Amino acid sequence: MAVDGVVPRMSPVFSFFTDAAPVRVWSALTDAAQTSKYLYGLALRSSWAPGSPIVASFRDRPALQGEVLCAHPHDRLSYLIRSPAAPAVYLTWLLRVSDDGCICTLQVDEADASEATELEDVWLPVLAALQRALTPSPIT
């Protein structure tokens, strides 16, 4: 519904299923060694308590900063991340127990209102890499 001719923009939501338990997914979302595997090499470090700072390092150099907004272990993690030259990006990860695993959902809110295709180009590879990181390697 438009208000004063402005159509509200819906925040994109991306999801995938994994046979990993929510505790394992939570670990992947909050452990710097694991975030660097799927988040374009960024290692996120924080205490993961609401209000805590986040430092995102790339090759051991601080690249981005952020803040934890909400942290309910194994259920919901919301934080903002930003570089000095760009608006903040708000990320909300939701984990929902499902038969034989969980559904991992990411909602992305960007202040600069990027086009949906741009957001897909950035965030779909992140989710695909996270899903691969959570999938055990076949025994050979």
Enter the pTM of the model.
Answer: 0.87
CATH number of domain containing 18: 3.30.530.20
Q: How many domains does the chain have?
A: 1
Torsion from C-alpha of 125, 127, 133, 136, nearest 10 degrees: -120
CA pair distance 75, 79, nearest whole angstrom: 14
Asked whether residue 98 is domain-assigned, the answer is yes
The whole domain housing 90 covers 13-134
pLDDT in tens, the chain (140 residues): 444 554 445 678 999 999 999 999 999 999 999 999 999 999 999 999 999 999 999 999 999 999 999 999 999 999 999 988 888 999 999 999 988 899 999 999 986 666 778 888 999 999 999 999 998 766 65
Asked whether residue 78 is domain-assigned, the answer is yes
Asked whether residue 3 is domain-assigned, the answer is no
Neighbours of 123 (CB within 10 A): 18
Asked whether residue 82 is domain-assigned, the answer is yes
Asked whether residue 81 is domain-assigned, the answer is yes
Asked whether residue 18 is domain-assigned, the answer is yes
Identity of the amino acid at 104: C
